[in-house]
Amino acid sequence: MSSSSSPETAADGVGGGKDSCCFCEMTKQHATGCSRRLPKRIILVRHGESQGNLDMSAYSTTPDYRIPLTPRGVEQARAAGRGILDVVSSSPEGGPDPNWKVYFYVSPYERTRATLRGIGAAFPRDRVIGAREECRVREQDFGNFQVEERMRAVKETRERFGRFFFRFPEGESAADVFDRVASFLESLWRDIDNGRLDQTTSCETNLVIVSHGLTSRVFMMKWFKWTVEQFERLNNFENCEFRVMQLGPGGEYSLLMHHTKEELEEWGLSPEMITDQQWRASANRRSWSEECSSFIATFFDNWNDRSEDDDCQEEDDGAEIKGEIKSLEE
């Protein structure tokens, strides 16, 4: 998706050449009138049903990254491919989009790569710009070989401790996953800036990231600036469920460009998170300072909203009272 440059955005860009936008550089978001070409959609997909989903004992004998899909998982991947094809090949008006293309990022795990193969079966070769294995969107590390009973006990402890900060013995916390997802996003923006995701200036690029449930939720947390408390509300993706972040007319990605409010509620988004998605789907751009304030009520309980005039009036009243007391004493 592209738009012409404007003096307020591209002409005074910093650090990115003549087509750079200082708003985009600062916020990693897209300003109306900016020449930066952004993907039309970013689609997050969880892998299909794996042998580990079916039987947790598989992790005690097979390394996590080698856990394969089940036959049902393979069918789920093919069905997801057909579903994603329907999304990316359609225009906002409902008809076919002649200029769509797709670029894939995939976790290096066997179950995600197999899911990508299943998804790819739905796509013509000339519509696929490319695919890249990306280690930073791999599964949360739970340790090496996982003993089933021990892992059950550890996961029960995680529920009491909190999902985001609990670190698995010899493994990772969701906070660790957040750090590497943040690093991946920096690389993703460089790919966008360098035009690696576009074949022509007329194509509408769709990014598909085939990953894992927690990693995908962390991706959205980072992108939409959700708090830890808001992350803890979220429900996991089902196997091969995909969620579509689509670019709105105001230059923001929103889940509500494709999904319904009811779906977001089912996923665990709070009313204020849904309100933020509604704004992102609209054409009204707020300033950067206002965007930072999207969830400001989650950080503060009370405000001192007294005006400077009120303070001056109090000072005048205080001086008057002191004067009256002094006159009485005299």
Q: Which of 30, 47, 49, 204 is catalytic?
A: 47
Half-sphere exposure of 155 toward its Cβ, with a 13 Å CA cutoff?
Answer: 10
**DSSP code of residue 141:** P
Report which DSSP code applies to 96.
B
**Looking at beta carbons, which pairs linking 308-316 to residues 24 or more positions away fall under 8 Å?**
none
Task: Give me 100's structure tokens.
Answer: 């769509």
What element of type H or E holds 215? Answer: helix 213-224
HSE, CB side, 13 Å, CA atoms: give it for residue 44.
23
- For 27-91, the DSSP string reads HSS--TT------SEEEEEE---BHHHH-GGGGGTS-GGGPPBPHHHHHHHHHHHHHHHHHHTB-
Q: Is 139 a catalytic residue?
A: yes
**Cβ–Cβ < 8 Å for 19, 13:** yes
Contact 285, 251 (CB under 8 A): yes
From 147, 186, 194, 189, select the one nearest 170 (Cα to Cα): 147
Catalytic residue among 49, 110, 134, 139: 139
Spatial separation of the C-alpha atoms in residues 35 and 295, rounded to whole Å: 29
Structure-token pair, residue 1: 């998706």
Burial class (CB in 10 A: 0-12, 13-18, 19+), 289: exposed
**What Å distances lie between residue 202 and 2, 34, 40, 123, CA to CA?**
9, 16, 12, 19
Distance CA 224, CA 220 (A): 6
Residues belonging to the active site = 47, 139
